Amino acid sequence: MKMDWQQGFFNVLKFIGMFIVYQIGTIPLQMAYLMPTNQIFVLIAFTMYLITTGFMLVLFIQMYSTQLHKDNPAHFGRTKPTKRITRFMIVIVILWILFLALQIWLNQSNLLPQSENQQTVMALAKAIPWWLALDAVVFAPIIEELLFRGLFFNWFFNSNDKKVRLLGVFFSGAVFGAVHDVSSLLGWLVYAVMGWLLALTYAYTKDIRYDIGLHVFNNLISLI
């Protein structure tokens, strides 16, 4: 994998810029949380949300698809569900369930305090549950996987070398943990492990639909 420092720095700026765009897209949801009983206000905010989220989806998908067609040495794209991939996904789902059980135990033992991100999710779940469910189960997994896996690998670890892809898995998870919880090392580690499992799924299957599905599964379980 060859990348000059100037291009690498530019890619970092692009990634930060896309993350800021993603955060801006969540503003309507935060606005609705302030006045959840005002139906007109919520309707206006929801309309804004659909527009901004739709824009982000189109933008992220277009950027990701363009990169795959332009420079794709690792051959990411749509892959057929082979027996090898099926066995891998079964193992990943089992690991994920065990990890969720560990999180529950840590929370019940008061070893893992609720992160600011989790507190926000719980507050939104009480105020506007239908909106949070739509965002968490449908839109957020797609956008976050495109950003933290698809675009991230294309910009920083665009290689068919297995060692490079493993580095991509590590840094993808580390960054994912950092943007979700930096209040404690354990809190960061929880989200980093999620990111590592998602990144490993993407790197192994080479098809972003699998890690999107896994992300949807996690968020759906979290809401139940």
CB-based contacts of 98, cutoff 8 Å, min separation 6:
none
Alpha carbons 128 and 79: distance in angstroms, whole number: 37
pLDDT tens digits for range 160-213: 999 999 999 999 999 999 999 888 899 899 999 999 999 999 999 999 999 999
Q: Residues, the chain, total?
A: 224
Whether the full predicted model's pTM is greater than 0.85, yes or no, is: yes
Is there a contact between 202 and 145 (Cβ–Cβ < 8 Å)? Answer: yes
CB-based contacts of 10, cutoff 8 Å, min separation 6:
none
pLDDT tens digits for range 100-158: 999 889 888 887 777 777 777 788 888 899 999 999 999 999 999 999 999 999 999 99
Q: How far does CA 120 lie from the centroid of its chain? A: 17
Q: For residue 3, what is the DSSP state?
A: -
Tokens standing for residue 107: 């929370």
**Would you place residue 60 in the very low, low, confident or very high pLDDT band (cuts 50, 70, 90)?**
very high
Helices marked H in the chain: 5-25, 27-34, 39-70, 83-108, 116-127, 129-134, 140-145, 152-156, 162-180, 185-205, 208-223
Specify the 3-state DSSP secondary structure of 115: coil
